[in-house]
């Protein structure tokens, strides 16, 4: 495929990750913030729609790495494969989160107001979802999208280097904040963790918009023949 088509496809997929992930989190609000959701009237359709959006998020996540791999491996094959792997691991955490939320919905459908014993189970399933968010988007993203992709884009010159610096800055911040949550230094969703995600947020958003609008900048690896590089 033409490199500029790859660029625009990648940009579109990055933007899809925003269009799916943010609304999904909002749709999950009832199940994540109401401990008695599992025995209450519930909003099953809303939560299930959030799960569907996250399924598309998984497709877009892996798609960004697979689409970029033929280009990025010309810069560094090992790191390009590492980016694909990081995206798959992140998506695996997201998938576990989807399963935990849908499990709450399934239990709620067969529950009654008298099934108070289900409340702790619901809390446990929500806690699993919360930790998948911390370990996936809250840690692995910093390694894959931040450090690896930021470095590859910076070295290759496929996008403006100042833009790629956002990834190199945001990646470590994401990782540090995720570890801080695991070690209970800061709380999940605290102001400190939110601030740490800002550079990474703008790195991925600006990358998606730039690739959609302008494509890759002229760079040596675009003209490089893959077959000769891989020998």
d(CA 3, CA 61): 19
Q: Are 24 and 109 in contact (CB under 8 A)?
A: no
In sequence order, which ranges of 28-110 are alpha helices (DSSP H)? Answer: 29-33, 44-72, 77-109
How far lies 36's CA from each of 33, 76, 115, 198, 215, in Å? 9, 50, 10, 33, 48
Whether 230 shows a pLDDT value over 80: the answer reads no
d(CA 119, CA 207): 42
Place of tokens 């799960």: 51
Max CA separation in the chain (angstroms): 69
Two structure tokens written together for 14: 């990055």
d(CA 83, CA 206): 18
Higher pLDDT, 66 or 43: 66
Q: Are 60 and 2 in contact (CB under 8 A)?
A: no
Mean pLDDT score, 38-51: 88
pLDDT, mean over the chain: 92
Mean pLDDT score, 3-13: 96
Whether 163 shows a pLDDT value over 80: the answer reads yes
pTM confidence score: 0.90
Whether 225 shows a pLDDT value over 80: the answer reads no
**Chain segment 179-195, per-residue pLDDT in tens:** 999 999 999 888 999 99
**Chain segment 66-90, per-residue pLDDT in tens:** 999 999 999 999 999 999 999 999 9
**Chain segment 141-153, per-residue pLDDT in tens:** 999 999 999 999 9
Confidence (pLDDT) at 205: 97
Neighbours of 191 (CB within 10 A): 9
Confidence (pLDDT) at 115: 74
Confidence (pLDDT) at 185: 94
């Amino acid at each position: 495929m033409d490199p500029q088509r790859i660029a625009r496809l990648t940009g579109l997929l990055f933007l899809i990750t925003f269009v799916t992930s943010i609304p999904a989190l909002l749709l999950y609000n009832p199940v994540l913030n109401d401990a008695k959701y599992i025995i209450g009237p519930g909003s099953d359709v809303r939560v299930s729609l959030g799960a569907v959006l996250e399924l598309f998020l998984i497709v877009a996540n892996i798609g960004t790495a697979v689409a970029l791999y033929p280009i990025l491996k010309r810069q560094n094959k090992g790191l390009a494969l590492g980016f694909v792997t990081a995206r798959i691991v992140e998506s695996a955490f997201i998938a576990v989160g989807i399963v935990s939320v849908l499990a709450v919905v399934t239990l709620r459908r067969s529950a009654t107001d008298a099934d108070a014993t289900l409340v702790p189970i619901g809390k446990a399933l929500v806690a699993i979802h919360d930790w998948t968010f911390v370990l996936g988007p809250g840690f692995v993203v910093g390694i894959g999208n931040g450090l690896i992709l930021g470095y590859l884009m910076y070295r290759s010159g496929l996008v403006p280097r100042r833009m790629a610096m956002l990834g190199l800055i945001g990646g470590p911040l994401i990782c540090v904040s995720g570890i801080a949550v695991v070690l209970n230094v800061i709380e999940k969703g605290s102001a400190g963790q939110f601030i740490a995600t800002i550079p990474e947020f703008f790195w991925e958003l600006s990358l998606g918009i730039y690739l959609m609008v302008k494509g890759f900048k002229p760079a040596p690896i675009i003209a490089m023949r893959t077959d000769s590089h891989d020998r």
